[in-house]
Structure 1
Amino acid sequence: MDSRLPSKCDHSSYRYIEKVKKPDRNLSREITHPLHRQHRLQLGWRPWGFICDKCLYISAADYGYSCVSCDFRLDLACASSASGTELPKDEEPLRFKDGKRKTIQHYSHAHKLSFFKYRKIHEQDLDCFWCEKHLSVVCYGCTKCRFYLHSGCSDKIPRTLAHHFHIPGHTLRLSSTLAVAGDCFACKRSIYYSKLRYIWEKCIFHLHLECAKLLPTLKLACHPHRLAYFRGTSKLDCRTCGKHCGGDDSICRCVQCDISFHLKCVVPSEATSKYHKHPLILTKSVKEDDSDEFCCDVCENERDPKHPVYYCQSCTFVAHIQCLLPDVDEDQITSSMETRKLCMRRKWSRMKGVMASTLCFDLSSTNTKCMR
């Protein structure tokens, strides 16, 4: 053991190390530790972090001690501690019988996932890849890929999926293959760096996992189908104003019709509600606090904090857009379409010998010729 190592886990102790990516010169390059007597541990840099084999927390510093041949690692604080040559009894469910941390090979990730105990790192939360809520208590993940899951979310990711964005009868398969060329069918963004996606190889169909979770919830008079919220991309144009849907724009989109709208073009920037005395302003996203519970103050159901809402800042009153807009029934849709021309054409094409259909809509005014 080396007395020059830090005696306690203090994030501020590692601020210098983390900023300049160099170890403190006072740290020993090699040490021996009672938890791993068979080999000496070497000081090394792991910029993606690592799970300490003693405390089972993700290290708060980029540097730690490790035995590469045994895949054994200690953070700086645990490496300096001579107390407790035995592992804590309450951590037995997280370890194998030989004391090593448990790992699993999960179908959602190419690397093995390690069990670990969660705590904030530099006052920042880590989120579960599936439910997108903050990690808590016991989780498992791959620190190199920054891929983390709640233990309870591990069996919630569907291996196969029959999705309404694709042709009925074509079951999509979960894929974790990296560096695949192509665009997501829903958002039109590249799938190259996507950690998980759903695919149907014969149709060359790709769908980001986060896009697969989207449900069309917004009903507007401008389109007969319910729309889903997306982030903008230059590959999409607003059907109302004709301009690109930039990355910072909030848009709503009908995927099966391949039609997008700037939210600001089809939804009022200000709305009133009988449930609140002040006008509510259309806002991109609202997080009232650091908790994982985000609710609509009108319907009291859970809401996605990334989605646009109507918001009163002075009262922190938040409402789903669909909860404030009047309900639109089929008669209203038909009436609104009387002044527009609905051009619908079913396109058939052969993709690697498989028949696939895409339903294409073109909405234009009655005095404008359909260009399709």
Structure 2
Amino acid sequence: MDIQHFCHDQHPLVFNKFERRGSPCWACGKLVFGPSYSCIKCTGYYHHKSCAELPRELQHPLHPKHPLILFDESKFYEDEEYSKCKVCKEYREEYTYGCFRCNFNLHNKCAYLPLTLESEVHDHPLTRIWKFMKFTCDLCGKEGDLPFLCAQCNFCIHKTCASSYLRRVKAVRHNHPLHLTYSSLEVPQSDSPFCQLCVRKVDIDYGFYYCSSCDYVAHLDCSMDERNREDINLLELTDGESNELENEDLELDGSVDLATYIVKKINVGEDGIEILTEIKHFSHEHDLKLSDEVENNKKCDGCVRAIFPPFYRCAKCNFFLHKSCIELPRKKRHPLHQHLLTLLAKAPCWSKSFECDACDQLCNGFTYCCEECDFDLDVQCSLILESLSHKGHEHLLHLSTTSYAQNCSSCDYESFHLSTTSYAQNCSSCDSESFQDSERLQDSERFQVLRCITCEFALDFKCATLPLTTRYKQHEHPFTLSYAVEDDSGDYYCDICEEERDPKHWFYYCADCSYPAHPECILGKYPNIKFGGACTFDGHPHPLTIIEKTKDHPECHRCGEPCKEFFYQCAMCNFSFHINCF
């Protein structure tokens, strides 16, 4: 059986009972397997049987004035905006029904959409209304122009909302399943509730996810984001299985040895308390001994912060660990990630360093890692969970994860990582906006800050983990993190770099000397990198030392450019490598 098709008027298309090669269909772009039409003299003109037999003319209720004519969209239009489908608002380079007099186009699949839809979010079948009419979706609260309607409930909804949302979801950051509801009567009416995932208000006149046991409210999109929810089918769970999920005991997961150290020696103090004086930690090859000596300009190999008593040290190496870092759990859950995280002494990558997925800073200390997702948290960021009480702000701060970049009120720096609201925000320590004009980013990106419900103050992880006190080189007094202008002179400068400071931004201050300084000038460009330590690599026979900067700027052995800062150096071979060149 042959047909003469408008797409190829030179030759007829021949019917094939079965197409085995999986060639792309000229009409819809999908691979053809099964009955098809093709040109036996020319290559490329393959069609599904159903696509080849589409009627050339269609009378559609969305455009009753004129008949719609089937044409090849990819050949006819150069302007994609001009040729977008009126239903899906997309340009797909496929067969389209169009009225050229009115610039009205419908993809062939959009023209034959089913009239009724069964949806998980509603108890009754929904009927498609084939008429352009402005309406407000009863689920998401946004406007649309092609509704699905339940006449029995007077319920209108977008097609995407009807097919995208689930009746129940399990959020990583909450123990109980969340139920879809669009009844404000289920929520206490005292105040407008906040989404527990993005820390922004929820309009309870429309749909949201809710846990009545905990009065836990979350936006639809925040709950459905794959990074915020556990990938389990809650509709198939019994109540008993759901309770098992809530009471999951991490100790039962035996994939990693949970012990981080072995006790070698114990002393008993005067009060009868046992003191671990010598241990063997999983992160180091030698035994570590307890010390209470003050060590200047030394950093902990776990959290990469200045060493302070009590801590453990290695008598053979420049290796130190705070007592608190010794006691870190080997495995933990964190609200920023859906999988269990494992404590590693070094990142499992070629450079032995990693970029923290919370604060975006380079670190070569301990990491809480999910190797499956290439996700890393440094020690300080791993300690911040759902909320934070910080001396720099009077109210409690709550973790907000969004698809919009946000600004830190402490440094005014744009946050470039995982988050769960849909608005740009400023960190109140630096007043940096996370993304100009609240521009929406790609779905793969997420950003996080700690937000205040009361006053819109926001703090990114970089500022939230700044040490409250620190020392600077040979300066005799400690510096304290400060949050307010130290005087009203109107002239604000950093006494280290002698450049101007923004008085709204956090800074370090020595009150004894009236000495203010930028955080970066005090802490350095890489505050979470411990320089001077030696690392062994598979690609080199000798240990390499991590160098911050030198006066002579040695030449990189690989690219020939000078190594000005942050590079590896081999003393035995007398050569240097940029980190990216190594």
State TM-score, norm by structure 2. 0.24
Higher relative contact order (CA 8 A, sep 6+): 1
Structure index of larger Rg? 2
